[in-house]
Amino acid sequence: MSSVLKNQKILLGITGGIAAYKAAYLVRLFKKSGAEVQVVMTPSAHDFCTPLTLATLSQRPVLTKFVKDDTGIWNHHVDLALWADLIVIAPATANTLSKMAYGQCDNLLMAIYFSAKCPVWVAPAMDLDMYRHPTFLESLQRIENHGVKVIPAENGFLASGLEGEGRMAEPEHIVALLEAELGIKPLSGKKVLITAGPTYEAIDPVRFIGNHSTGLMGFELAKMALKMGAQVSLITGPSTLQLSHDQLELIRVQSAVDMQQAVMARYADMDIAIASAAVADYRPAEMAVEKIKKTSDSFTIELVKNPDILAEMGKQKTRQYLVGFALETQNEIFYATQKLKNKNLDLIVLNSLRDEGAGFGTQTNKVTLIETSGEHTELPLLSKEKVAYDIFQKVLTHLS
């Protein structure tokens, strides 16, 4: 697949933070995408990575100073700003972001930034308390008001030994975000079916059997597929979430039987199907026509098994790339792998309720991606948007 970054001139600014070690991989990904890369380092960035490494990978001399040598030849910041189609500052420290916000121009990178007419992106990186500090947040808001685009920091282990938000976005996430924003559509022409949310199995007109799923993971998957150019059918159980797009068919259902009918009516026409819904395994054998009155100290409901929608999708699979989800509380890898095989899936996304910040009702998730080859990819705690991105990267690898 060709990249929208091909032939783009990217000026990569590297500032003095420990996350500067990731810059080498970011340069490599930009070059792999076909971009021209010019690295500009602040003086303190030299403490964290060597210009030799970055010059070798970018195939251009790394620039730091205004003056090249004793002859007086200089690195013209205006020319560099005009050369760039895109400026990316990664990592962007609190110090650099403050300079950008308040007009302090004391190094070559800042002179280029203040001369720039092209889009500018920053990837902040700092410890979690710095990332939450009101002064930093004010700087961030100021540069956003000036038109700078911010690549949010991620959750993870930090140099301080703490764990939380502030970690620079991973290089592959930066590249994917830029590609998506600049217009690459790797799923253009593809049809994607996604199930989301819980199902409600009615006991009577008032009560139901359900679970804690909000549908957020499925909605983030749908957003990511739409961003990548797909035509999406999102079949969701009861959820307060909203989504609209001219490439989206949104189908709202209540019960597992409703969801089964909606899925199977569309499945044969799909290229990709992702079953992230938390479908109830059982439903009441009969639904009472009227509200059941509280008349005794105990009450028994007979349950019958719901249709296994994912298993049926696996049986009827022809060309579809089929992704399932598993939520386990013990022997997680074993049970998820069994589900992968028994239901004829191509990929299974394993959630574990053992991990803080994962599971139902959270903005984040921590998952392991298991493929039919047996390969496991354990992801750190990420936003559900970034989990959706990683899932689709596996899908794209298969499609390519």
> Length of the chain, please?
400
| Cβ atoms 6, 33 nearer than 8 A | yes
331 is catalytic: no
Cis bond before residue 43 (omega within 30° of 0): no
Question: 308 CB contacts (<8 Å, ≥6 apart)?
Answer: 343
Q: What are phi and psi of 351, to 5 degrees?
A: -100, 150
> Active-site residue among 75, 211, 344, 351?
211
Which has the closest alpha carbon to 5: 39, 37, 25, 30?
Answer: 30
Compute the C-alpha angle 195/196/201, nearest 5°.
100
Amino acid at 240: T
Distance between CA 365 and CA 82 in Å, rounded?
41
Token couple for 65? 């100073």
Task: Please spell the DSSP secondary structure of 269-336, one letter per residue.
Answer: G-SEEEE--B--SEEESS--SSPPP--SS-----EEEPP-HHHHHHHT-SS-EEEEEEEESSSHHHHH
Distance between CA 230 and CA 45 in Å, rounded?
40
Distance between CA 294 and CA 214 in Å, rounded?
29
Distance between CA 232 and CA 43 in Å, rounded?
48
Question: 382 CB contacts (<8 Å, ≥6 apart)?
Answer: 154, 155, 364, 365, 366, 390
Q: What are phi and psi of 260, to 5 degrees?
A: -60, -45
Catalytically active residues are: 211
